[in-house]
Homo-oligomer: A and B are copies of this chain.
């Protein structure tokens, strides 16, 4: 493939294998897969999930719900505390799909109800230890106050969900499984408390580490992982995947080489990767890791080259003495991203290995 500028390559085969892996696991373990589409933000890739029998999805904003509803998704969970200011779009969406909205306070329910003209469903977020948003698992008073607000409203209670983001601090399969057990136990305990009043209540969990590693989701109704569609080097360090599972890589033209300071400068910066960093197994903080591009994508083996810093358009790569002499202006290096969700969002489109462009939800309105 002819690369002339920073290009987000998508290995369709690896991506579809990741999708199939999670869809198969869901079928085998008897849970519903409601994948988080904030990672890929793409109609086309959404259809690859549909081809695996997936009919429900998760998004992180009302705008993203509208984008996927426009491509025929009819059951969408917005896994973000409901922004009551978007009432108009919520009403419109609720007329075209089954819309599940997240709540963490009775205030948000009260404000939403005031303007709601279509039925929606409520999922209550439980904070199982990540401490970003959600109700504490033992705060039955707060849960009860949310449930009380739902009474005689267009908002029907559907169940509880959590995002165990603390799994991103884990660094082994064993640690991830421990996080899964701790968080799923909290969820099941809440369900036990409310099962009598709400026999049909559902429990939903979702984060790529626990969903990738766990093989048993007993007592859980639904999984909402997102990142696994591409994975990234952060997921490898956590223990969710191998380098070979990573389905996207940025192709970056080499524009300068500084052997005296072991640096290769590529076109590929913060506007391409975004700026998340990863503390690797060896303690180094990196913005991406280099791979050699080949005729079929990129080599499975990492190069001993990594992005040590990024400015808006520049990527500054460290290359050891043994490597620095091999690269020259006009070459193209592949860089595996630290955080595939933010990198995809920053790029706005993918290019498959056979050169096809895949578009994403546009940034602008």
Q: How many copies does the complex hold?
A: 2
| A261 neighbours in B (Cβ, 8 Å) | 131
- Contact: B85 with A330, CB < 8 Å? yes
Residue of B nearest to A130 (CB): B311
**Interface hits, A79-96 → B, CB 8 Å:** 80-86, 88-89
The digit string for A139-177, where 1 denotes a CB below 8 A from any CB of B, is 000000000000000000000000001000000000000
The digit string for A266-292, where 1 denotes a CB below 8 A from any CB of B, is 010011001110000000000000000
Q: 11 pairs across A/B with beta carbons < 8 Å? A: A4-B88, A5-B61, A83-B267, A85-B330, A105-B257, A105-B329, A108-B255, A133-B256, A133-B265, A271-B345, A348-B363
A7 to B253, CA, bound (A): 33
Kindly identify which residue among B108, B328, B357 contacts A329, using a CB–CB cutoff of 8 Å. Answer: B108
Interface size for chain A: under 10, 10 to 19, 20 to 34, or 35 or more residues?
A: 35 or more
- Determine whether A314 belongs to the interface, using a CB cutoff of 8 Å to chain B: yes
**Interface hits, A218-257 → B, CB 8 Å:** 253, 255-257
The digit string for A164-197, where 1 denotes a CB below 8 A from any CB of B, is 0100000000000000000000000000000000
A85-B3, A86-B5 are contacts. A80–B314 as well, Cβ < 8 Å?
yes
A3 to B108, CA, bound (A): 17
- Determine whether A111 belongs to the interface, using a CB cutoff of 8 Å to chain B: yes
A313-B38, A313-B61 are contacts. A364–B364 as well, Cβ < 8 Å?
no
A62 to B82, CA, bound (A): 41
A residues with CB within 8 A of B: 3-5, 38, 60-63, 80-86, 88-89, 104-105, 107-108, 111, 131-133, 165, 253, 255-257, 261, 265, 267, 270-271, 274-276, 311-314, 316, 328-330, 332, 341-342, 345-349, 357, 359-360, 362-365
A104 to B265, CA, bound (A): 11
Beyond A83-B253, A105-B329, A108-B329, 7 additional contacts (C-beta under 8 Å) are: A5-B63, A5-B85, A83-B255, A108-B256, A132-B265, A345-B346, A357-B365
